[in-house]
Amino acid sequence: MIRVENLHRHFGGFHAVDGASLSIRQGTVTGLIGPNGAGKSTLFNVIAGRLPPTSGRVFMGEEEITGLAPHELFHKGVLRTFQIAHEFGSMTVRENLMMVPARQHGEKLWNAIFSRAQIREEEERLRAKADEVLEFLTISHIADHKASQISGGQKKLVELGRTMMVDAKIVFLDEVGAGVNRTLLNTIGDAILRLNRERGYTFCVIEHDMEFIGRICDPVIVMAEGKVLAEGSAAEVRANERVIEAYLGR
């Protein structure tokens, strides 16, 4: 589904991504692991259009998507989750979901094209969709809570929920488990697996928690020093000498 060919992203003289090549197969939940500073987030940012690459190419199927802007990728179903921005904290969880499709079209255009009745109808549709998403994620009870007041783990679920408001094909998740308790981490893992199995989402997941990676990801790709070091099942990469060395810092 996604193919990255010899990707480089340099910051000054520093090679954060240094010739990474990898594929994410359609229908998988692919894990991306590696020591801190390996270049995982930078790789995500280049694939998702947040950073231009220094060189190298990214393909979605046969189509080259290198350097496309986030909104262009969004329309192709390539999504990267983001923390709920500070300014949306005073909105409710439901409202945070409802605004995802509207924001992509631009609020002004939206208002200019549609009549009040059409806008109200669209709002009703989005509200119903948001409630369905919250139910899927088992967090209906926080629909009316202000986004700034929910827990870190609940925020992660809402971020995942935002991808469900549109037609995502592949979702990139950067450190879903950071600061999340075990129970919520399991809920997030379950949601990812259900989205994968029931809705056909492909995922690429960066995460440090190996128990979580082992439970939901196959295959697992290991990065170190800007390059891909190994790929295999969670058990295979864990047993790989070069991977162990990379984690121990040689």
Residues making contact with ligand ADP (CB under 6 A) = 11, 14, 16, 34, 36-42
The minimum distance between CB 36 and Mg ion, in angstroms, equals: 7
The minimum distance between CB 119 and ligand ADP, in angstroms, equals: 39
Report what 4 binds from ligand ADP, Mg ion, none; CB cut-off 5-8 Å by kind.
none
CA 139 – CA 125 distance, rounded (Å) = 19
Phi-psi region of 85 (alpha: psi -120 to 50; beta: other; left: phi over 0): beta
The minimum distance between CB 174 and ligand ADP, in angstroms, equals: 7
Spatial contact of 157 and 184, defined as CB atoms under 8 Å apart? yes
**CA–CA distance from 172 to each of 43, 48, 117, 168 (Å)?**
11, 8, 36, 10
Choices 13-21, 34-42, 116-124, 152-160; region in contact with Mg ion by CB under 5 A? 34-42
The minimum distance between CB 172 and ligand ADP, in angstroms, equals: 12
Report what 16 binds from Mg ion, ligand ADP, none; CB cut-off 5-8 Å by kind.
ligand ADP
DSSP state of 146: B
Query: Of 41 and 92, which CB lies nearer to Mg ion in the complex structure?
Result: 41
Spatial contact of 107 and 172, defined as CB atoms under 8 Å apart? no
Report what 36 binds from Mg ion, ligand ADP, none; CB cut-off 5-8 Å by kind.
ligand ADP
The pair of three-digit structure tokens given for residue 23, joined into one six-digit string = 């594929």
The minimum distance between CB 181 and ligand ADP, in angstroms, equals: 22
| Interface positions, 39-58, toward Mg ion (CB under 5 A) | 41
Report what 34 binds from Mg ion, ligand ADP, none; CB cut-off 5-8 Å by kind.
ligand ADP
**CA–CA distance from 221 to each of 32, 173, 218, 231 (Å)?**
5, 14, 9, 4
The enclosing H or E element of 63 equals: strand 63-64
Report what 176 binds from Mg ion, ligand ADP, none; CB cut-off 5-8 Å by kind.
none
List, in sequence order, the alpha helices (H) in the chain: 40-47, 70-75, 93-105, 107-113, 116-136, 152-163, 182-199, 210-216, 234-239, 241-248
**CA–CA distance from 13 to each of 8, 67, 151, 180, 246 (Å)?**
12, 21, 39, 35, 22
The minimum distance between CB 41 and Mg ion, in angstroms, equals: 3
Query: Of 134 and 223, which CB lies nearer to ligand ADP in the complex structure?
Result: 223
Report what 96 binds from ligand ADP, Mg ion, none; CB cut-off 5-8 Å by kind.
none
Residues in contact with Mg ion by CB under 5 A are 41
